[in-house]
């Protein structure tokens, strides 16, 4: 029987204590497993600082470079996804001929499936909706009705103009993963 290269999620780890989760992840080659025995970062900054490397091709840079990978524990259940930590970009949107923003879109995933969380004006709630966000971000007809802003400006605009708080990047990522059925998109 041929081995698939799969390594179990939980391994007995004598001398390390009960409940410790060594994170075995399959790399680019069958023999290139990287073992992680660290607490997973919860923010982009922590991931970059700790340089945790759970699932990477160490051959070169790219979207899976060590500083761009971390584990997101979903719902505190002790399981999660290895995710590429791309920062969100923030776009404010305007109604036709308006000078004040009427909405906001947080976008992540330029190199794969689009993950977008929008401020739903009628429902007054943040929600995962890449289908609605895509034209605003990529269609030239909306180019003059949306503007890229920094995270700090997005927080201020959300608070002062939209009457809401901008979710943290981790909360935005959780919305994308929960509503988008993981990292495969919509």
User: What's the domain count of the chain?
Assistant: 2
- Do 108 and 173 lie in one domain? The reply is yes
Q: Which residues pair with 70 in a beta bridge?
A: 83
Query: What pLDDT is attached to residue 141?
Result: 87
Average pLDDT, the chain: 65
The last residue of a domain, from among 41, 58, 84:
84
- Do 68 and 113 lie in one domain? The reply is no
- Do 51 and 102 lie in one domain? The reply is no
The last residue of a domain, from among 51, 84, 117:
84
- Do 103 and 61 lie in one domain? The reply is no
Grade residue 117 by pLDDT with cuts at 50, 70 and 90. Answer: very high
Residues 19-46 pLDDT 10s: 333 444 444 344 344 443 344 445 555 5
- Do 72 and 126 lie in one domain? The reply is no
112 assigned to some structural domain: yes
44 assigned to some structural domain: yes
- Do 97 and 148 lie in one domain? The reply is yes
Q: What residue numbers bound the domain in which 33 lies?
A: 23-84
- Do 27 and 100 lie in one domain? The reply is no
Is the pTM of the predicted complex or chain greater than 0.75? no
Mean per-residue pLDDT, 6-11: 42
- Do 95 and 80 lie in one domain? The reply is no
- Do 31 and 67 lie in one domain? The reply is yes
């Amino acid at each position: 029987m041929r081995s698939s290269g799969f390594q179990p999620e939980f391994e007995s780890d004598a001398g390390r204590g009960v409940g410790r989760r060594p994170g075995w992840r399959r790399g680019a080659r069958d023999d290139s497993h990287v073992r992680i025995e660290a607490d997973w970062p919860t923010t982009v900054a922590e991931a970059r600082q700790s340089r945790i490397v759970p699932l990477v091709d160490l051959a070169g840079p790219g979207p899976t470079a060590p500083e761009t990978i971390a584990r997101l524990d979903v719902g505190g259940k002790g399981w999660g996804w290895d995710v590429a930590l791309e920062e969100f970009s923030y776009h404010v949107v305007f109604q036709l001929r308006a000078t004040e923003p009427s909405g906001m879109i947080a976008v992540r995933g330029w190199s794969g499936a689009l993950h977008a969380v929008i401020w739903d004006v009628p429902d007054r709630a943040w929600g995962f909706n890449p289908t609605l966000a895509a034209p605003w971000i990529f269609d030239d007809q909306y180019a003059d009705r949306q503007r890229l802003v920094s995270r700090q400006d997005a927080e201020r605009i959300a608070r002062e103009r939209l009457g809401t708080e901008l979710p943290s990047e981790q909360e935005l990522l959780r919305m994308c993963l929960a509503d988008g059925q993981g990292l495969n998109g919509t």
